Chains A and B, each alone.
Chain A
Amino acid sequence: MKLSKTLRTALRALRRNPMRAVLTTLGIIIGVGAVIAMMEIGNGSSAAIRRTISSMGANVLLVLPGSAASGGVSFGAGSAVTLTPGDVEAILRECPAVRSAAPVVRARTQVVYGNRNWVPVFIYGTTPEFLAVRDWMPLAEGTAFTDRDVRNASKVCLLGQTLVRELFGGESPLYKEVRVQNVSFRVVGVLASKGANMMGMDQDDILLAPWTTLKYRVIGSSLSSTNQSSSSSASSSSGTSASPFYPGTQLRLYPAPSPTQAADTPLPARFTNVDQILAAARSAEEIPLAIRQITDLLRERHRIRPEEPDDFNIRDMTEVTKALASTSTLMTRLLLSVALISLVVGGVGIMNIMLVSVTERTREIGLRMAVGARGRDILRQFLTEAVVLCLAGGAIGILAGCGGSFLVTLFLGWPTETSVPAIVASAIVAATVGIVFGFYPAWKASRLDPIEALRYE
């Protein structure tokens, strides 16, 4: 007996009692439907959670320069001058695990608009790609500055929500000019609100400008930022207070070097440097790979010999990433166990009804045997019926699940995401359930004695 014929016989037998076929397969429909819907809703939520966490910076790697020391006095992490804009471009070009990267030049100073002023937590000089690294698109208002603005050191900036509130009150800040250390910046856009970061710092208290502008027009020269701690505190104090009562400058312990001495001992700034590099890995899983690639690249670019230590540090958000991974595995396992339980329940339902069906169709089985069906033909027929039932139930269940999750998205607004592996797995599991739970009734049918079966009332 050919497969197509067996299939047709099975379908015909099922069509003879469509109501019961539907009720039988209801267990599978509900099981598979629930699995699919849950997988899609679960996938959607975990993707949403992932997105939220990654907007907090889970995928972000922070590359800091190493520590500089002078005369036994260490200036702490980030004080050496080793990172360049060229490093950023090289990272983008040569590290496949890095999605985007941006340089950061930091300043801490006063921002003035009209009669108001404010010292934001972050004044970052960077490239437009910063927004991609931090998942900060789209903007609340306006447009981001461009690469051309970076090349031209244009005096444009983006403001965070807190800064807008503090400086502008209710006004729209777009195309207004704010001053940063007497340099006018035109506000071209306003960032979307991001709230506090994991340290509790207000991420909206920020001003973003092209790094060239900040570096060359505001901070002044690359030399002045050589020693970050002293220079930035000096610049901020000179901005905020012109007070003669509190000395803004440190006491000089050593006599000022003469020009000759200065020429003899040049400060080790040989190039345009940036304070940090922010890089985003393609995914949480690729963070270690990205770290390795960046490390290799920067060691090569900075010509560090194998035995020497790195002149930079890379930080990642290990804690967040771990939480993320454990959340998603927990979710997957939970869904899997629920799925298995519901499918077993559905399978038992199938077995139950198939047993009833075998008893009810004893005469038919007897007749089929009388006209020449062998035991294995009967076995195959009933097994096919069970599998067809399960597969049909699985198919309907998949549709129902997709429909259900679509409705959930439509009415409750929960995010969902179609999961192809879940669909494939449900189809396979449904067929397996059909075979496993259909086998016993089919075997029972095949063992019937044709004489008894024909006489069965």
Chain B
Amino acid sequence: MATGLIELRDIHKIYRVGEVEVPVLKGVSLSVGRGELVAIMGASGSGKTTLMNILGCLDRPTSGQYWLDGKEVSKASPDERALLRNRKIGFVFQNFNLLPRMSALENVMMPLSYTTRALSDREAKGRAMAWLERVGLGDRFSYEPSRLSGGQQQRVAIARALINRPPLLLADEPTGNLDSQTSEEILRIFETLNREEGITVILVTHDPEVARHAGKVIRIRDGMIVDGASA
């Protein structure tokens, strides 16, 4: 039914803490088209992390429907969701989440080991190198994360997120651990990727400075969308 990349319809998420039910998302509906650069903003506790987990197929909604790239995923099994995460979604985290004591190249190649269509070693390496060059780390292939700066680590993480050419890039506070100048560089990379590769980017943040780079801002408060729900 949906033409956009992401289509959420009346998503509810209720956590159960003992006997008490805590509603976090109270009927979220939104749609994001292909090639958009969207920021999801909200204060902490507003439910934006939960929304992000659902968008990233890490969690499933209590009720409501979610179409990702034309596929209904709110009822998918854990294995199906793993496959979707692998194929359709790239994650960028606030704390980079690189594997220690592995080179930048190995970190970038890591998601390839879970793809169903196995690439040859040479292909995999070539692809990882291309992405690292793309994010400006052409001279840091063999560096381990501990020898890279925060900005460089985040670039490795971006390259890793893109290795499987997903149509959607989800960034959870991607600049939260970076200084303002590095943040600016990282955000510019997102913009460039969005513009040149047509990758849909969703930035989850509480920082208005970050949201400024987005083409569209969705504000969430108390589990409800207050602004920018539809395209």
Contact A370 B113 (CB under 8 A): no
Contact B91 A371 (CB under 8 A): yes
Q: What are the residues of chain A within 8 A of B115 when measuring CB–CB?
A: 372
Contact A370 B101 (CB under 8 A): no
Chain A interface size, under 10 / 10 to 19 / 20 to 34 / 35 or more: 20 to 34
1/0 per position for A351-373, CB-CB distance to B under 8 A?
A: 00000000000011011111111
Residues 10-27 of A contacting B (Cβ, < 8 Å)? 12, 15-17
By beta carbon, the residue of chain A nearest B157 is: A367
Check A401 for interface membership: any CB of B closer than 8 A: no
1/0 per position for A365-402, CB-CB distance to B under 8 A?
A: 01111111111010000000000000000000000000
Could you list 10 further interchain pairs (A-B, Cβ under 8 angstroms) beyond the known A372-B87, A374-B114, A454-B58?
A17-B101, A366-B97, A371-B91, A372-B82, A372-B164, A373-B82, A374-B83, A375-B82, A377-B114, A454-B97
Task: Please tell me which one of the listed residues A15, A369, A451 contacts residue B82 in the complex, with CB atoms under 8 A apart.
Answer: A369
Contact A372 B85 (CB under 8 A): yes
Q: What are the residues of chain B within 8 A of A373 when measuring CB–CB?
A: 82, 86, 114
Q: What are the residues of chain A within 8 A of B56 when measuring CB–CB?
A: 370
- Given A16-B100, A454-B97, also A370-B91 (CB < 8 A): yes
Contact A12 B87 (CB under 8 A): no
B217 to chain A, nearest CB (A): 25
Contact A16 B83 (CB under 8 A): no
Q: Report the separation of the CA atoms of residues A27 and B161 in the bound assembly, to the nearest whole angstrom.
A: 40
Task: Please tell me which one of the listed residues B87, B100, B113 contacts residue A5 in the complex, with CB atoms under 8 A apart.
Answer: B113
Q: Report the separation of the CA atoms of residues A89 and B115 in the bound assembly, to the nearest whole angstrom.
A: 75
Check A198 for interface membership: any CB of B closer than 8 A: no
Contact B114 A371 (CB under 8 A): yes
Check A222 for interface membership: any CB of B closer than 8 A: no
Q: Report the separation of the CA atoms of residues A354 and B156 in the bound assembly, to the nearest whole angstrom.
A: 29
Query: Hey, which bits of chain B sit against chain A, CB under 8 A?
Result: 53, 56, 58-59, 78-79, 82-83, 85-87, 91, 93, 97, 99-102, 106, 110-111, 113-115, 118, 160, 164
Q: Report the separation of the CA atoms of residues A58 and B79 in the bound assembly, to the nearest whole angstrom.
A: 68
Interface centre among B56, B99, B118 (most CB of A within 10 A): B99
A265 to chain B, nearest CB (A): 99
Contact A5 B118 (CB under 8 A): yes
Contact B78 A372 (CB under 8 A): no
Q: Report the separation of the CA atoms of residues A108 and B167 in the bound assembly, to the nearest whole angstrom.
A: 107
Q: What are the residues of chain A within 8 A of B82 when measuring CB–CB?
A: 369, 372-375
Q: What are the residues of chain B within 8 A of A366 when measuring CB–CB?
A: 97
Q: What are the residues of chain B within 8 A of A371 when measuring CB–CB?
A: 85-86, 91, 110-111, 114, 160
Contact A372 B83 (CB under 8 A): yes
Number of A-B contacts (CB under 8 A): 63
Q: Report the separation of the CA atoms of residues A364 and B99 in the bound assembly, to the nearest whole angstrom.
A: 7
Contact B53 A372 (CB under 8 A): no
Q: Report the separation of the CA atoms of residues A374 and B82 in the bound assembly, to the nearest whole angstrom.
A: 6
Instruction: Report 9 cross-chain contacts, Cβ distance below 8 Å, ordered by A residue.
Output: A1-B118, A366-B97, A368-B110, A368-B114, A370-B56, A372-B83, A372-B86, A372-B87, A374-B82
- Given A12-B102, A450-B58, A451-B59, also A372-B93 (CB < 8 A): no
Check A9 for interface membership: any CB of B closer than 8 A: yes
Q: Report the separation of the CA atoms of residues A182 and B49 in the bound assembly, to the nearest whole angstrom.
A: 116
By beta carbon, the residue of chain B nearest A15 is: B101
Check A333 for interface membership: any CB of B closer than 8 A: no
Q: What are the residues of chain B within 8 A of A303 when measuring CB–CB?
A: none
The 8 residue pairs across chains A and B that have the minimum distance between CB atoms: A372-B86, A371-B111, A16-B101, A372-B114, A374-B82, A367-B97, A373-B114, A372-B85
Q: Report the separation of the CA atoms of residues A454 and B160 in the bound assembly, to the nearest whole angstrom.
A: 16
Q: Report the separation of the CA atoms of residues A299 and B7 in the bound assembly, to the nearest whole angstrom.
A: 99
Contact B100 A370 (CB under 8 A): no
By beta carbon, the residue of chain A nearest B110 is: A371
Contact B114 A367 (CB under 8 A): no
Q: What are the residues of chain B within 8 A of A451 when measuring CB–CB?
A: 53, 58-59
B17 to chain A, nearest CB (A): 14
Q: Report the separation of the CA atoms of residues A338 and B42 in the bound assembly, to the nearest whole angstrom.
A: 64
Task: Please tell me which one of the listed residues B79, B87, B118 contacts residue A374 in the complex, with CB atoms under 8 A apart.
Answer: B79
Q: Report the separation of the CA atoms of residues A450 and B114 in the bound assembly, to the nearest whole angstrom.
A: 15
A383 to chain B, nearest CB (A): 15
B118 to chain A, nearest CB (A): 6
Q: Report the separation of the CA atoms of residues A5 and B115 in the bound assembly, to the nearest whole angstrom.
A: 12
Q: Report the separation of the CA atoms of residues A110 and B204 in the bound assembly, to the nearest whole angstrom.
A: 114
A335 to chain B, nearest CB (A): 41
Check A2 for interface membership: any CB of B closer than 8 A: yes
Q: Report the separation of the CA atoms of residues A133 and B138 in the bound assembly, to the nearest whole angstrom.
A: 80
Contact B111 A2 (CB under 8 A): no
B181 to chain A, nearest CB (A): 27
Contact A12 B114 (CB under 8 A): no
Q: What are the residues of chain A within 8 A of B93 when measuring CB–CB?
A: 454
Residues 271-288 of A contacting B (Cβ, < 8 Å)? none
Q: Report the separation of the CA atoms of residues A17 and B53 in the bound assembly, to the nearest whole angstrom.
A: 32
Q: What are the residues of chain A within 8 A of B100 when measuring CB–CB?
A: 16
Q: What are the residues of chain A within 8 A of B53 when measuring CB–CB?
A: 451
Q: What are the residues of chain B within 8 A of A17 when measuring CB–CB?
A: 101
Q: Report the separation of the CA atoms of residues A309 and B130 in the bound assembly, to the nearest whole angstrom.
A: 95
Q: Report the separation of the CA atoms of residues A191 and B101 in the bound assembly, to the nearest whole angstrom.
A: 70
Q: Report the separation of the CA atoms of residues A361 and B100 in the bound assembly, to the nearest whole angstrom.
A: 10
Q: Report the separation of the CA atoms of residues A308 and B114 in the bound assembly, to the nearest whole angstrom.
A: 82
By beta carbon, the residue of chain A nearest B50 is: A451
Q: Report the separation of the CA atoms of residues A375 and B79 in the bound assembly, to the nearest whole angstrom.
A: 8
Task: Please tell me which one of the listed residues A2, A15, A368, A375 contacts residue B78 in the complex, with CB atoms under 8 A apart.
Answer: A375
Q: What are the residues of chain B within 8 A of A374 when measuring CB–CB?
A: 78-79, 82-83, 114
Q: What are the residues of chain A within 8 A of B86 when measuring CB–CB?
A: 371-373
Interface centre among A12, A366, A450 (most CB of B within 10 A): A450
Contact B99 A372 (CB under 8 A): no
Q: What are the residues of chain A within 8 A of B113 when measuring CB–CB?
A: 1, 5, 9
1/0 per position for A240-251, CB-CB distance to B under 8 A?
A: 000000000000
Contact B106 A12 (CB under 8 A): yes
Task: Please tell me which one of the listed residues A1, A367, A450, A454 contacts residue B99 in the complex, with CB atoms under 8 A apart.
Answer: A367
